[in-house]
Amino acid sequence: MKFKECGELLNSKGFLLKTKGMAYRSCVRSAMLYWSETWCLKENEIASLRRTERKMVKAMCGVKLMEKKRPEEQMEMLVLKETVLQKAKANGVRWYGHVLRRDDGLEKEVAWNRAR
């Protein structure tokens, strides 16, 4: 949905690929990964995210199917360093760290309340 909203910028040939990559990272990818910290990704969801990102990257680069450019090359053209899956997994690990720290905080709070 967000890709269609930003379509004028992302699909236009009048903008630099680097600019398109920055817009994709800040608008589209952030909308795709909203609440990704709490996801437990299944194989079909992983495949869907990968397929969706590749389709959008191909559209932004203006690459035709006959050109046979690899997705990694297209990501480099847009100056995208990591895929949406790598970002989603990193977000999950970050959330796990928050949960671990929160549990320690609750135990300390319960112990402190018992001591009073």
Distance CA 69, CA 67 (A): 6
Decide if 84 contacts 32 (C-beta within 8 A).
Answer: yes
User: What local confidence, expressed as pLDDT, does residue 114 receive?
Assistant: 53
> Given pLDDT bands bounded at 50, 70 and 90, which one contains residue 115?
low
Largest CA distance in the chain: 73
User: What are the sequence ranges of the domains in the chain?
Assistant: 2-115
User: What local confidence, expressed as pLDDT, does residue 98 receive?
Assistant: 66
Whether residue 81 has pLDDT greater than 80: yes
Q: 56: closest CA among 23, 22, 24? A: 24
Residue with the larger pLDDT of the pair 8 and 70: 70
CA angle 45, 47, 49 (to 5 degrees): 70
> Given pLDDT bands bounded at 50, 70 and 90, which one contains residue 108?
low
Phi first, then psi, for residue 15 (nearest 5°) are -115, 150
Q: Assign residue 69 a region: left if phi > 0, alpha if psi is -120 to 50, beta otherwise?
A: beta
pLDDT tens by residue, 21-80: 888 888 888 888 887 777 778 888 889 889 989 988 998 888 887 888 888 898 888 888
